[in-house]
Amino acid sequence: MQKKLIFSINIIFFLIITLQISTAQVINSNLRKVELEQRVLYTNDSLEEKKMSDLHSQKSPGVALLLSLVLPGAGHFYADRMDVGQYFLASEATLWLGLVGINQYGNYLKNDARTFAYVHASFTKEGKDDDFFLNISNFDNIYQYNNDKLARGEYNRLYDVNSFFWSWDNSSNREQYNQQRKKSERVYNGRVIFAAGLIVNRLLSAISAFVVTQTSLKNNLSLNSEFLTTPRQKLDGLRLNFSLKF
pLDDT beneath 50: ranges in the chain: 1-27, 50, 52-56, 216, 218, 246
The Cα–Cα gap between 66 and 211 comes to 13
The Cα–Cα gap between 30 and 28 comes to 5
The pLDDT of residue 34: 52
Residue 75 CB burial class (10 angstroms; 0-12, 13-18, ≥19): buried
The pLDDT of residue 240: 58
**Neighbouring residues of 29: CB distance < 8 A, sequence distance ≥ 6:** none
Angle, vertex CA 51, rays to CA 46 and CA 55, nearest 5: 145
The pLDDT of residue 4: 45
CA atoms within 13 A on the CB side of 223: 22
The pLDDT of residue 111: 94
The pLDDT of residue 108: 95
The pLDDT of residue 159: 95
Global pTM?
A: 0.61
Element housing 229 (H / E): strand 221-229
The pLDDT of residue 214: 80
Number of other CB atoms surrounding residue 64 within 10 Å: 27
The Cα–Cα gap between 32 and 129 comes to 95
The pLDDT of residue 101: 94
Residue type, 172: S
CA atoms within 13 A on the CB side of 87: 20
The Cα–Cα gap between 179 and 160 comes to 26
